Amino acid sequence: MNKHLISIADLSPNDVQEVIDTALRLKGEHATGNDEPLLSGKTLGMIFEKPSLRTRVSFEIAMLQLGGHALYLSPNEVQLGVRESIPDVARVLSRYVDGIMVRTFAHSNVEELARYSAVPVINGLSDFSHPCQALGDLLTIREKKGKLDGLNLAYVGDGNNVAHSLLLAASKVGMNISVATPKGFECQPSVVQKAKEAALSSGSRVLTTNSASEAVQGADIVYTDVWTSMGQESEREKRLAVFVPYRVDVDLLGHASPDVLVMHCLPAHRGEEITDEVMDGDHSIVFDQAENRLHVQKAILALLMGKRT
């Protein structure tokens, strides 16, 4: 892997496979009580501009299980670019910690931190990209289906950061991906183009459409996310009116494969983008997916921070 994890676009197909293979190994070692202290004595600084249940807990536990420590920095403590310039934050933290994880609104904040940091920077979420989520999702699919290449993944909903990362991740490992969004809420064209280029190399297919049923047709995995993300609260009523045809319910799943898996990156707005019947149903692997954020992030931390002398 490169020094930092900013976007799935920065990873080669081999990098993606290395993360998944490492995560599977570390998960197996933990299950048998054989955790290796790969990051003994090392500290991860965690900058949060957005609150999160899964990101904070999974990274803190990941560092603990790897023998290291995690330091939580709240929005009021850092205030990227306000209280202190981003280059100065990067330079100072690099003197204290062995790695930096940032969960922020602007993707440019992650890029600027990485530009000035002497230690690895990990994108815990930005408005453009959510690489840790997508890698954890691939890990979950691999566990449940036994493979990645040749599977059909359908994403239904907003063309957001999760959709961007899934497009790039699936196309790199040979998964066919279909993304259905309402008009005006599509993924960024540059991301779609990069995914199509990766798909040419891996032998997979990329489809973007405004039809949920078309995207889900024959799908092995159906994936959704909230229609209104943090920071978009003023758009909530408008989005609710537009996104209703993209709700993942029993009727929509009828277009998918009989053994379809249902995924959601959480938190879920039950009754909006997904019904209780589906989220709590036999096809749902939502909470296995949430657990695997821990294991894939252990792999990312070990690969990025464990190599430093």
Domains of the chain: 8-130+292-305 (3.40.50.1370), 133-289 (3.40.50.1370)
Q: Which of 297, 304, 307, 306 is nearest to 134 (CA)?
A: 297
pTM for the full predicted model? 0.96
Query: In the beta sheet, which residues pair with residue 261?
Result: 221
Active site residue 293: yes
Task: Please pick, among 4, 103, 107, 295, the residue that the annotation labels catalytic.
Answer: 103
Sign of the C-alpha dihedral computed for residues 109, 115, 118 and 121 taken in this order: positive
Distance CA 22, CA 71 (A): 24
- Give the model's pLDDT for residue 233: 77
Residue 200, H or E segment? helix 189-202
Sign of the C-alpha dihedral computed for residues 179, 230, 264 and 13 taken in this order: positive
Least confident range of 23-37, 47-61, 79-93: 79-93
Active site residue 103: yes
Interval 161-167 mean pLDDT: 98
Q: How far is CA 136 from CA 20, 35, 172, in A?
A: 8, 19, 15
Task: Please pick, among 133, 142, 247, 295, the residue that the annotation labels catalytic.
Answer: 133
Backbone torsion region of residue 218, taken as left when φ is above 0, otherwise alpha when ψ lies between -120 and 50, otherwise beta: left
Active site residue 205: no
Task: Please pick, among 54, 142, 247, 293, the residue that the annotation labels catalytic.
Answer: 293
Number of other CB atoms surrounding residue 40 within 10 Å: 11
Task: Please pick, among 107, 225, 283, 295, the residue that the annotation labels catalytic.
Answer: 225
Active site residue 133: yes
Active site residue 130: yes
Residue 221, H or E segment? strand 221-224
Angle at CA 134, nearest 5°, toward 285 and 100? Answer: 125
Active site residue 10: no
Per-residue pLDDT band for 2 (boundaries 50, 70, 90) equals: confident
Task: Please pick, among 127, 142, 164, 265, the residue that the annotation labels catalytic.
Answer: 265
Q: At what angle do helices 13-31 and 286-305 cross, to 10 degrees?
A: 110
pLDDT digits (tens, 9 = 90+) for 178-236: 999 999 999 999 999 999 999 999 999 999 999 999 999 999 999 999 998 767 778 88
